Amino acid sequence: MLKRKVPHEIPSQLLNYVTVYQYWKKENTWPVIQHGPGIFTVNDNDQNYEWESTFLPLISESLSALIDSYETPLEFNSVGLRYVDSIKAIEYGFQGNWYEFLDKTLNFNVNNSFDYRGEISDFQINQNFRQPDGSNLIITASSGKTKNASEPLLFWQIEMKKNGKISRDDVKTWLHTAHDITSETFTKIIKKELYERFART
C-alpha cells in the first residue's frame, strides 16, 4: 500500500534526504519501506522480526527493486543498521530514581561528579565507537514517556553506520557484519535479569 508523506506542491529540490513515499504491507501494517531523494529505509517491528528468515531477505529484495528501477547504476554513500528497544520502566521496578534504575538494568550509567540540585527527571546518553573497517557503533539510552505522558519509558538504541562509497555487494556483506556486532552488543549492554525477560517475550 503506497502512501505519500509529503505534499506534491513541495519542490523536489527541498526534499533531499527526506522520506517521501511509504510502502506498507497493508494499511498501517508492518513492515514498511520508505524512500525519497537520497534516502531508502526498510523498517519492521518486533512482532515480525527474524533476521535470517524475514528481515534480511526483505532488505535484499527491496534493495534489488530499488536498484533495478534506475537506468543508471546507483552509488551508495552511507549504510546503517539500527535497533530501537524500549520498556515501560515501572514494569521493571522503576521507583522514580533513574540513577538506580540504570544501574539495575544497563551496563552503563550516568555519573555526575558535581553537586547537582534536585532529582534527575530525564536523561540521554550517547556513545560512539569507531570500528576497524571505518564503521561506527553508536549506543544511545534515554528516558521518555508513553503517548499519554502517564508512564516513564527507558529507550536504548544500537546502531551500526558507515559513511563513504559502498557497492551493492559490499552493502550485503556489511549488513551481516553489522548484525553480528549489534546482536552481540545487545547482550552486553543490558543486565542479565532484563536480558532474560526479553528472551522470554
> In sequence order, what DSSP letters do the residues of 62-104 get, joined into one string?
HHHHHHHT-SS---EEEEEEEEEEEEEGGGGT--S-HHHHHHH
**Which pLDDT belongs to residue 89?**
94
At 146 the pLDDT is 85
Q: What is the pLDDT of residue 87?
A: 93
Q: Which residues of the chain have pLDDT under 50?
A: none
pLDDT of residue 12: 77
Q: What is the pTM of this model?
A: 0.90
pLDDT of residue 200: 63
